[in-house]
A and B are shown apart, each in its own frame.
Chain A
């Protein structure tokens, strides 16, 4: 039983992206060795068949190749509809400015955004990550693993750098140090 076979077996049963450190822990090997094994596995299964190895949402997962999308799509339930531009805008703001409150999103957009925030929460693309220690202790939102998965991103670092001047400044007190855990906030 080779390392590549072991990795294939683990990825086959995995319903979510398998993290490098989890694979390393299970196989009792260094992350570097796992990475090498995954590279070999990727080449092996990419050569033939309908499956490929993808790096997504900070992990590795097996998926059907793009050329089979129509066939599989006609068999599986169609995926959810695309998000409207306004909701995409809220999502982009959360992705770049997280953790961020609904009020701050509205300051950036200049329009009411609670509908977009609600839809994104329902779709599990953003979630509550804490409370801001300001009057009213508003909820802070951040993106989820589902967001990375749905938008074919391996991590937030894959998002392009935006011109700092182009982004509206929220307030001087917007910072991670003010982030309070949800448990603390609800206590």
Chain B
């Protein structure tokens, strides 16, 4: 049995409930997050007797101690879940003639997915879908147009990334600049890159004369991408190598 906390990236789940912190539970009977364990126990898919709760409580305390800026909503959600699990287990452990009371889901721990409004939500989503097929007059003389992504043929983002990686690898470390030193604008850099491009396809490193820094590499590459987008430069793949030329 192992319980540990992981980095939280989303405080609010897609169902709108503040999620408990991602405490990972690993037992022979169950493996997953605390929230998943809660759902499985609630839906009686996991036998809680097979899941020791002490390490989970320990992991929760560690989460509280280790996180200097604990999200109170998350912490409260975890506490609610733990209290629920402990209560359920207590009913199972203690000898009692009483029958375990049925949990009143909507009142105590609401389940948004099974909510009374779910039919309405479906109806609204249907209406929204239908509405998205209708286009109305837009306000103002300048409607916001959608820029159709420019295709670079067989060259993929991965190929471009590889070309950039090669470029960076050959760059020399940057000199320490004075902070207030003005930098060349991208427009100026694009002008330089355009002058260096020829009709003949060449690798990006061939465009440089002499040594260059990482900063130069980033500026050159961004300028090249912008020139490709503006259809002033072309790119193609030859074997594994990405080549650039003037259009």
User: What residues of chain A have their CB less than 8 Å away from a CB belonging to chain B?
Assistant: 12, 14-15, 54, 56, 61-64, 66, 68-69, 72-79, 82, 84-93, 95-96, 109-113, 115-116, 149-153, 159-160, 162-163, 166-168
Asked if A15 and B137 make an inter-chain contact with CB atoms under 8 angstroms apart, the answer reads: yes
Q: A61-B136, A167-B116 are in contact. Are A84 and B127 (CB under 8 A)?
A: no
Query: Can you list 27 A-B pairs with a CB-CB distance of less than 8 A?
Result: A12-B137, A14-B137, A74-B146, A74-B148, A76-B145, A77-B144, A85-B15, A85-B121, A86-B12, A86-B14, A86-B16, A86-B112, A87-B16, A89-B16, A93-B117, A109-B16, A109-B115, A111-B16, A111-B17, A111-B110, A111-B112, A115-B12, A151-B124, A159-B120, A160-B123, A162-B117, A163-B116
Contact of B130 among A74, A152, A168 (CB under 8 A): A152
- Render B1-23 as a binary contact track against A, CB cut-off 8 A, 1 for contact: 00000000000111111100000
Determine the distance from Cα of A162 to Cα of B144 in the docked complex, in whole angstroms. Answer: 39
Contact of B128 among A56, A78, A95, A152 (CB under 8 A): A152
User: In the assembled complex, which residues on chain B have CB atoms less than 8 Å from the CB atom of A91?
Assistant: 124
Contact of B138 among A14, A15, A152 (CB under 8 A): A15
Central interface residue in A64, A82, A109, A152, by most chain B CB within 10 Å = A152
The chain B residue sitting closest to A113, CB to CB, is B16
Given A92-B124, A95-B124, 16 more pairs with CB closer than 8 A? A15-B136, A66-B133, A69-B133, A69-B134, A72-B135, A82-B128, A86-B17, A87-B16, A89-B117, A92-B120, A110-B108, A110-B110, A111-B110, A150-B131, A163-B116, A168-B116
- Render B72-85 as a binary contact track against A, CB cut-off 8 A, 1 for contact: 01000000000000
Q: Does B119 contact A (CB under 8 A)?
A: yes
The chain B residue sitting closest to A61, CB to CB, is B136
User: What number of B residues sit within 8 Å (CB to CB) of A?
Assistant: 41
User: In the assembled complex, which residues on chain B have CB atoms less than 8 Å from the CB atom of A68?
Assistant: 135
Q: Does B161 contact A (CB under 8 A)?
A: no
Q: Kindly provide the distance from the CB of B28 to the nearest chain A CB, expressed in whole angstroms.
A: 32
Asked if B120 and A75 make an inter-chain contact with CB atoms under 8 angstroms apart, the answer reads: no
Asked if A69 and B112 make an inter-chain contact with CB atoms under 8 angstroms apart, the answer reads: no
Central interface residue in A54, A109, A110, by most chain B CB within 10 Å = A110
Q: Does B55 contact A (CB under 8 A)?
A: no
Q: Kindly provide the distance from the CB of B199 to the nearest chain A CB, expressed in whole angstroms.
A: 33
Q: Kindly provide the distance from the CB of B165 to the nearest chain A CB, expressed in whole angstroms.
A: 32
Determine the distance from Cα of A61 to Cα of B134 in the docked complex, in whole angstroms. Answer: 11
User: In the assembled complex, which residues on chain B have CB atoms less than 8 Å from the CB atom of A15?
Assistant: 136-139
Asked if B112 and A109 make an inter-chain contact with CB atoms under 8 angstroms apart, the answer reads: yes
User: In the assembled complex, which residues on chain B have CB atoms less than 8 Å from the CB atom of A151?
Assistant: 124, 127-128, 131
